[in-house]
Amino acid sequence: MSATESDGVLLSSLDGVAFGVFYERHAGAVTSYVASRVGAPDLTFDIVAETFARALERRASYNENRGPAIAWLIGIARNLIADAGRRGRVDAAARRRLGIGRIALDDDQLALIEERGRTDFREALAALPAEQREAVVRRVLADESYPLIAASVGCSEQVVRKRVSRGLARLRRNLEEQRP
């Protein structure tokens, strides 16, 4: 598998290398998103790890026609953040089902996560053109439907889908450029 394969191709493969490419492609953006909401590096690590474990476990359910993979990942992370807030801990069910044991992080690893988390998700989002930013915020962060967004902004669902897709691609590039 190469880094040029689409997310759908990477996720449909049973090859661990393909999922590794998928992980490398999106880990920075997911880490930045999670860190901007939870702050603590150890909590960020746990949520990002569980996000990708759930993505691996549910990779067959990913559908490119429903939106970009980064939106799918951020949706998983958003739900994990909310769940962790209610429970007071991060649910590690997917990691347990996949046989991934508890990972103990040392100070250097925590510092690296903290450094990666300093990438400003809000700044990268603010750098998007207004139409793309609104589409990404409403679809990915607020979980509004494409028809609802299209009706409220006065365009077709297809236009909203393109705005979300282009906005997320640009957001990922912006986050990668900010990475220390």
Domain 1-118 has CATH 1.10.10.60: no
Residue 109 pLDDT: 65
Whether 38 has a pLDDT exceeding 80, the answer reads: yes
Element (H, E) at 175: helix 157-178
Residue 150 pLDDT: 92
Closest CA to 158 of 80, 71, 67: 67
Task: Please provide the DSSP assignment of 41-85 as one string.
Answer: HHHHHHHHHHHHHHHHHTGGG--GGG--HHHHHHHHHHHHHHHHH
Kindly report the pTM of this predicted structure. 0.65
pLDDT tens sequence across 95-146: 666 667 666 666 676 666 666 666 667 777 788 899 998 888 888 777 788 9
Give the residue extent of every domain in the chain. 1-118, 121-180
Residue 8 pLDDT: 87
Spell out the residues 6+ positions from residue 111 whose beta carbon is closer than 8 angstroms to its own: 41
Can you tell me the mean pLDDT for 62-66? 83
Residue 97 pLDDT: 66
Residue 103 pLDDT: 67
CATH of 121-180, one of 1.10.10.10, 3.90.1150.10, 3.40.50.970, 3.40.1380.20: 1.10.10.10
